[in-house]
């Protein structure tokens, strides 16, 4: 099946086409910038609005954005400006969340492996923490000052089943994250831990991570809700006051352009957990891909073409370094691809079966296999749609390829005869070769030779 875009496939298609044309005209895409990422800020704002609208009837909800999905300070600042909180999973993500302007009380640290220094810093700042294990609860207890303001919770794995993608399933029997609730004795140990630590006031789960149905995600939340009720009943006090229900909604792959599924998710939650949204528990969400994926694209110059085994291959500057999961998981992370001419206009003409390959020096660096597209030639451009999350924002440094520039864009009202005008803003500069050399240990170039001196 062809996954080529059509003008009616997405409400943002016209904005993307305008952005490509103007980016080429402005030199943001071309010989000087053969690959770049682009963020549709109107699309991002629209998704955030849809999220808030979907949960409008539920009081006390903190919506956090998973920083790993788009770890770019200007993007995070845009989300903070729209009332979002931030979920972080490393010291680096915590730093950029603070730089982006999120208040510590609206940041949640969910790293599965935290050092003592990370815990101390989060507690000192007042950042919320979710322990990933009962062992980590004990570590937090040994470091927590009596006047700590941080909300502290425990992540649990409800073990309701894996999704269609094994590598990203988080609620299977042997999934890595959280305390496995159905293991023998685990549930009692969780209750005992809450009894021993009255400052444990939140339970957190994250059932979805792509490849999971809304019903499966809601089932995981339901099991966590029942555990909260059980803890409060067995302790005879309302100790658990908040539930982290995660994100992971299916969105942003293989041409899914119906928009973020937040309203459908809320409906699934109402069916599975009728009491969840009545305000008795403060809720914390953690969406990433479903907020950002469809509002970003990668543009790349076609450097050359060749034929191999009877198939055309278009060699571009967008490959595993910018779309890593797609290259290594092509069946579960396919991307829509668009063909544009040297002026940045959508190409027309008879469809030709083509592979779209990247610049990494290994044979499997192909972002799209056997796609039917108008014939691509050197000097044309390809667009990888739905790459606003987990792609150009978190590039892979294979072959010491430089990180691509990223730009935000917005279509200006009052279109001219050639379509809407577009304004761009820099999000991240392209990485320089000096930076690559410095990161590769240039300052210590003679260090190994000096060992023999």
Residue 306 is predicted with a pLDDT of 96
The CATH number of the domain holding residue 311 is 2.40.37.10
Q: How far is CA 147 from the centre of its chain?
A: 34
Residue 162 is predicted with a pLDDT of 52
Would residue 8 count as lying in a domain?
no
Shared-domain flag, residues 305 and 283: no
Residue 175 is predicted with a pLDDT of 61
In this prediction, the residues of the chain whose per-residue pLDDT falls under 50 are 1-9, 11, 163-169, 171-172, 253-257
% the chain with pLDDT above 90? 79
Among the candidates 271, 288, 305, a domain finishes at: 288
Structural domains of the chain, count: 2
Shared-domain flag, residues 249 and 385: no
Shared-domain flag, residues 270 and 159: yes
Shared-domain flag, residues 302 and 283: no
Shared-domain flag, residues 259 and 363: no
Would residue 445 count as lying in a domain?
no
Given a contact cutoff of 8 angstroms between Cβ atoms, the answer to whether 227 and 181 are in contact is yes
Shared-domain flag, residues 29 and 129: no
Residue 250 is predicted with a pLDDT of 74
Q: What is the largest CA-CA distance in the chain?
A: 72
Would residue 6 count as lying in a domain?
no
Among the candidates 288, 306, 329, a domain finishes at: 288
The CATH number of the domain holding residue 127 is 3.20.20.10
Among the candidates 248, 268, 288, a domain finishes at: 288
Shared-domain flag, residues 379 and 308: yes
Shared-domain flag, residues 209 and 157: yes
Q: At what angle do helices 134-143 and 186-196 cross, to 10 degrees?
A: 10
Given a contact cutoff of 8 angstroms between Cβ atoms, the answer to whether 200 and 136 are in contact is no
Would residue 416 count as lying in a domain?
yes
Contacts of residue 351, Cβ cutoff 8 Å, sequence gap at least 6? 2, 4, 372, 373, 374
Neighbour tally for 438: CB within 10 Å: 11
Residue 333 is predicted with a pLDDT of 82
Shared-domain flag, residues 26 and 68: no
Would residue 453 count as lying in a domain?
no
Residue 165 is predicted with a pLDDT of 46
- Give the whole-angstrom CA distance, residue 147 versus residue 109: 19
Would residue 70 count as lying in a domain?
yes
pLDDT in tens, 50-102: 999 999 999 989 999 999 999 999 999 999 999 999 999 999 999 999 999 99
Shared-domain flag, residues 326 and 382: yes
Contacts of residue 109, Cβ cutoff 8 Å, sequence gap at least 6? 88, 89, 94, 118, 122, 127, 128, 129, 130
Would residue 205 count as lying in a domain?
yes
| Nearest one of 295, 294, 248 to 427, comparing CA atoms | 295
Would residue 74 count as lying in a domain?
yes
Tell me the residue range of the domain where 379 lies: 13-40+294-439
- Give the whole-angstrom CA distance, residue 89 versus residue 107: 10
Shared-domain flag, residues 177 and 319: no
Contacts of residue 444, Cβ cutoff 8 Å, sequence gap at least 6? none
Dihedral sign for Cα atoms in the order 153, 159, 160, 163: positive
Residue 12 is predicted with a pLDDT of 74
- Give the whole-angstrom CA distance, residue 442 versus residue 453: 19
Shared-domain flag, residues 381 and 233: no
């Amino acid at each position: 099946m062809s996954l080529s875009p059509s003008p009616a496939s997405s409400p943002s298609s016209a904005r993307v086409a305008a952005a490509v044309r103007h980016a080429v005209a402005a030199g943001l895409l071309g010989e000087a910038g053969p690959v770049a990422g682009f963020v549709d800020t109107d699309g991002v704002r629209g998704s955030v609005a849809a999220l808030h609208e979907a949960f409008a009837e539920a009081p006390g909800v903190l919506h956090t954005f998973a920083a790993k999905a788009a770890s770019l300070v200007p993007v995070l600042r845009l989300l903070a400006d729209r009332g979002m909180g931030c979920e972080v999973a490393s010291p680096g993500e915590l730093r950029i969340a603070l730089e982006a302007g999120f208040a510590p009380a609206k940041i949640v640290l969910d790293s599965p492996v935290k050092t003592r220094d990370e815990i101390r810093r989060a507690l000192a700042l007042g950042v919320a923490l979710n322990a990933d294990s009962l062992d980590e609860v004990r570590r937090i207890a040994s470091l927590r000052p009596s006047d700590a303001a941080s909300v502290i919770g425990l992540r649990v794995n409800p073990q309701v089943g894996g999704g269609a993608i094994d590598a990203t399933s988080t609620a299977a029997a042997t999934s890595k994250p959280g305390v496995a609730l159905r293991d023998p004795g685990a549930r009692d140990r969780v209750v005992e831990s809450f009894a021993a630590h009255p400052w444990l006031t939140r339970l957190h789960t994250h059932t979805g991570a792509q490849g999971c149905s809304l019903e499966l995600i809601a089932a995981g939340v339901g099991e966590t809700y029942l555990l909260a009720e059980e803890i409060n009943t067995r302790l005879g006090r309302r100790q658990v006051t908040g539930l982290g229900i995660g994100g992971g909604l299916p969105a942003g792959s293989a041409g899914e352009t119906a928009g973020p599924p937040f309203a459908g998710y809320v409906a699934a939650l109402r069916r599975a957990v009728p009491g969840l949204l009545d305000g008795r528990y403060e809720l914390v969400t953690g969406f990433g891909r479903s907020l950002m994926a469809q509002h970003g694209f990668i543009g790349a110059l076609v450097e050359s073409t060749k034929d191999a085994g009877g198939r055309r291959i278009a060699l571009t500057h967008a490959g595993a370094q910018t779309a890593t999961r797609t290259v290594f998981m092509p069946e579960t992370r396919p991307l829509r691809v668009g063909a544009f001419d040297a002026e940045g206009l959508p190409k027309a003409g008879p469809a030709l079966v083509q592979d779209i390959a990247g610049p990494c020096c290994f044979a499997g660096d192909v972002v799209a296999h056997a796609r039917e597209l108008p014939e691509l030639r050197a000097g044309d451009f390809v667009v990888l749609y739905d790459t606003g999350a987990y792609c150009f924002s978190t590039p892979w440094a294979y072959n010491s390829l430089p990180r691509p520039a990223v730009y935000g864009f917005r279509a200006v009202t009052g279109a001219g005869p050639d379509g809407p005008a577009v304004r761009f803003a820099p999000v991240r500069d392209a990485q320089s070769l000096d930076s690559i050399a410095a990161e590769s240990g240039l300052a210590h170039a003679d260090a190994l030779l000096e060992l023999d001196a």
